[in-house]
A and B are shown apart, each in its own frame.
Chain A
Amino acid sequence: MTTINLDHISASPLLPEVQEAMITAIREFQGNPSSQNQAGENAAAVIETARESVAGLLNSKVPREVVFTSSGTESVNQAIKGVAMANRSKGNHIVTSSIEHSSVNRSIKRLMQQGFRTTAVSVDNMGRVDQEEVAKAITDDTILVSIMHSNNEIGTLQPIKEIAKITKEKKVLFHTDAVDSVGVIPVDVQELGVDLMSFASNPYYGPTGVGGLYIRRGVSIWPIIDGGVQENNRRAGTENLIGIIGTGVAADLAKANMDKRLVHLKELKDYFISELPNAIDEYYINGDIDNSLPNLVSVSIKYIEGESIMLMLDDEGYSVSTRSACATGSLRASHVLMAIGLDHADAQGTLLISPGISTTKEDIDGFLKALADITRSLRDMSPLYNKK
């Protein structure tokens, strides 16, 4: 059975052009980019080409502002911990939101063990941060604001440009976790005005194992990985050459095809949302649906639990993700769904449906049919459904 991928937010397939470039690169490049011999210099040159491609995708005019890392998570850790360490003498306070990715939350929590303090601004029931709340949370001790560009569970986009105006005025550094935005929707660092921005290759059909951090020129930051002088002294360790080459190709394609991809994804999203009531009843769509990622819909289905739905869909050949507490192994509902005010039972029935550039309307039709059947059979089994 072929599996229909409706889980692009977790895993996007490598584009054929990216695969080709990486396979060729495995054969062609054997040198260490730090070596001064010919093989090394060849390798170093292709990294710089990839860096230019990525800088182009972000609209950074200075490719050196892009630092390659191993993942979006590493980028976030580098941004937050690196700024905290370098600016400790200026203050110990970090402003963030209540719906950040765990890489942000835990980086800050780790710093709290070292004496840092944090303020997490709350969000409204669509998951939106109010920039005025961010402004109010900034104190004389604040050294960093970290607010995500788009939320990885509900897709809501944040007013990054507006927040950047505030941080600039208050002379506080601003990092945005844009892992699920970069390469998917237009993200322009000059227009946004951010100081630091984390992203990753996989959301735009590049390889896993490659992330990037945009560090605006002049930002005071220490590396968290010390060693050699790779990545302009910002991130030590021999580069993931093959992955970075794939990332460069994926970035070129993302930039060239952005408009076309957006039209397709928006069509699928609108179609899915309009057809959903014909498949199931008693559900919520989470997030700010008119101002959110085009490749993600978060649906909470009442009276049933997400992991069960996900496993049954998997049996029918549809890959999705869930944010139920059971599936994360935490016995605890998602902090994002709690922050937007869902009750625990409804949060438990939350599915993330994430189509991609090769998803078709027929895939959505098949998925909805499977979802309707599964919802019916799990509700038949549910004491909550039978009690209502």
Chain B
Amino acid sequence: MLYSKTTMDHFRNPRNVGVIEDANGIGEVGNPLCGDMMTIYLKIEDDIIKDIKFQTFGCGSAIAVSSMLTEIAKGNSIDEAKQITNKDVAKALEGLPKNKLHCSNLGADALQLAIKDYEDRKAGIERPKEQQQEKHDHSHGDGKCYCPYCESSLKEGDNFCQACLHEIEEEEH
């Protein structure tokens, strides 16, 4: 099996699915182009996450990541929740396949965006809905580009991996 037991459990029985009607923080990341979309709803009282729910369009790991993320974050203070990283979620799921790590990036990104939305609302900053959305990228964080298939490093401007010949789209760099 591609996924760990914990990942499959969260995929099969996702926790905290749905919408919070009176959410005071909403974060939405991803787009169907890159495969996944995730929306996180927060109900925060006294700077504590009282309730958290998610909606996800995506693969098994995207759903498991969303579910695990909500479990980790629920009951946290805002400051605690801000510390949650993509790595924490992947670790709690007992690891994700290499080519699925981008899904875990989606989770923490959506949470941080939802917290920011809450803080902005509190500070009286009104943002148009589109700005709650953010595109996430697929780089490894070290500024270099890697082939998502064989992990060979890519030269800038390559439209396919010279090693394994897979086509690479701009946004994958």
Interface of A, helix, strand, loop or mixed by DSSP: helix
Q: Across the interface, which residues of B come within 8 angstroms of A306, CB to CB?
A: 59
What per-residue 1/0 map shows which CB atoms of A315-354 lie under 8 Å from chain B?
1000000001111011110010000000111001000000
**Which of A331, A384, A386 is B35 in contact with, Cβ under 8 Å?**
A331
Residues of chain A with a CB closer than 8 A to B169's CB = 332
Question: 0/1 per residue, A371-388, Cβ < 8 Å to B?
Answer: 000000000111111100
A106: Cβ under 8 A from any B Cβ: yes
B102 CB to closest chain A CB (Å) equals 6
B165 touches A109 (CB 8 A): yes
Interface centre among B59, B60, B148, B169 (most CB of A within 10 A): B59
Chain A nearest Cβ from B24, distance in angstroms: 18
| Nearest CB in chain B to that of A327: its residue | B59
The answer, yes or no, to whether B36 is at the interface (CB within 8 Å) is: yes
Interface stretch of the complex, out of B10-18, B71-79, B85-93, B111-119: B10-18
> For the complex, what is the distance from the CA of A311 to the CA of B61, rounded to whole Å?
11
- Expressed in whole angstroms, the Cα–Cα distance for A382 and B58 within the complex equals 8
**Are the CB atoms of A324 and B59 closer together than 8 Å?**
yes
Question: Closest CB-CB distance, B65 to chain A, in whole Å?
Answer: 12
B166 and A382 contacting across the interface, CB-CB below 8 Å: no
Q: Are A384 and B57 in contact (CB under 8 A)?
A: yes
Q: How large is the interface on A (under 10, 10 to 19, 20 to 34, 35 or more residues)?
A: 20 to 34
Chain B residues with Cβ below 8 Å from A65 are: none
Q: A326-B58, A331-B102 are in contact. Are A381 and B167 (CB under 8 A)?
A: no
Is B165 within 8 A of A329, CB to CB?
no
Whether the pair B56, A311 counts as a contact (CB closer than 8 A) is no
CB–CB B60/A307 < 8 A: yes
Docked Cα-Cα span, A119 to B39, in Å, equals 42
Tell me, in angstroms, the Cα distance from A324 to B63 when the chains sit together: 15
Task: Report the minimum CB–CB distance from A387 to chain B (whole Å).
Answer: 9
Q: A331-B34, A344-B32, A348-B35 are in contact. Are A383 and B172 (CB under 8 A)?
A: no
Contact of A344 with B60 at beta-carbon distance under 8 Å, contacts A331-B138, A382-B55, A386-B19 already known: no
Contact with A along B157-170 (1 / 0, CB 8 A): 00010100111010
Residues in B whose Cβ lies below 8 Å from that of A303: 57
A interface vs B, CB < 8 Å? 106, 109-110, 113, 303-308, 311-312, 315, 324-327, 329-332, 335, 343-345, 348, 380-386
